[in-house]
Amino acid sequence: GRALLMQIAHPMVAQGVADHSDFRERPLDRLFRTLFSIIQIVFAEREVAQQVAARVRTVHRSVTGEMGETVGSFEQKRRYFAENPVLLMWVFATLVDTSIVIYELLFQPLSDAEKEQFYRESCIWGGWLGVSADVLPPDYPAFCSYLQSMADTGQLAVGVAGREICESIFRPNIRWIPNIALAPVKFLTIGMLPKSLRPAFGFDWSDRQEKRFRRIISIFRWLLRFTPERMRSLPMAWKIRRETR
């Protein structure tokens, strides 16, 4: 959820999702499609990963349109296309950053060298997805500077499309999933979001909520210490990792 909310905080990404997906009727489909594709790209053997990435790029070629509203510095009627290197870089960045944030929250802090290694390895599959070397920051510190600059330069803003997509994630109007069941997911997702993005989505976050969030994360970390690796992994990720050993 964190990565998806960060992605749609870019007005052009949000408009593309709104125009080219059925998120209103099938609100969780994009989330799961993205998740499964990334798992295959990251964990599968190189040939399979590249094939999955190629399919994703093929789908993206048809994702074009124009802004339906003015959001931040992006004016109504401005053209967008999914293969825009700037947009691809932002989507890639949200996935890399979210992976690091979640790992450090649930397991342990990573050293600077480990973060650098993870970033450089991620750049490989980022390239398969179409992120060109021209827009990739050269190292992890530069990547962190890029993330900060996206917030500082007004590239991120949430309009009607972004808010509707956000609403569909946490209130998906699926008969067998009561909205209250997703309240914990929403709470944890908000807690993991960058502080600068919470107000953009209309999320309030108090010191009391932050303390509660930290307590819940501490409980998860304690439980994970006693959880077998197979149970800590998504089924698809576990299956692929077993097959490639």
Show the tokens assigned to 61: 């070629």
C-alpha 52 chain-centroid distance? 18
| Residues near 114 by beta carbon (within 8 Å), at least 6 away in sequence | none
Tell me the HSE value of 224 on the side-chain side, using a 13 A CA sphere.
15
Residue 79 domain boundaries: 2-244
Q: Which residue has the higher pLDDT, 92 or 43?
A: 92
Q: What is the pLDDT of residues 172-190, one digit of tens each?
A: 766 666 767 778 989 999 9
- Does residue 61 carry a pLDDT above 80? yes
The answer to whether the beta carbons of residues 162 and 119 sit under 8 Å apart is no
Average pLDDT score, the chain: 85
Q: Beta partners for 71?
A: 74
Predicted pLDDT of residue 27: 56
Task: Please give the Cα distance from 119 to 95 (Å, whole number).
Answer: 11
How many folded domains does the chain comprise? 1
Predicted pLDDT of residue 240: 47
Show the tokens assigned to 140: 């992890």
Tell me whether residue 186 is exposed, middle or buried, using C-beta atoms within 10 angstroms of its C-beta: 0 to 12, 13 to 18, 19 or more: middle
Q: What is the pLDDT of residues 34-45, one digit of tens each?
A: 666 777 777 667
Tell me whether residue 53 is exposed, middle or buried, using C-beta atoms within 10 angstroms of its C-beta: 0 to 12, 13 to 18, 19 or more: buried
Distance set, CA 150 to CA 6, 26, 77, 139, 196 (Å): 11, 30, 22, 17, 11
Q: Which residue has the higher pLDDT, 218 or 54?
A: 218
Question: Which residue has tokens 């998860």?
Answer: 220
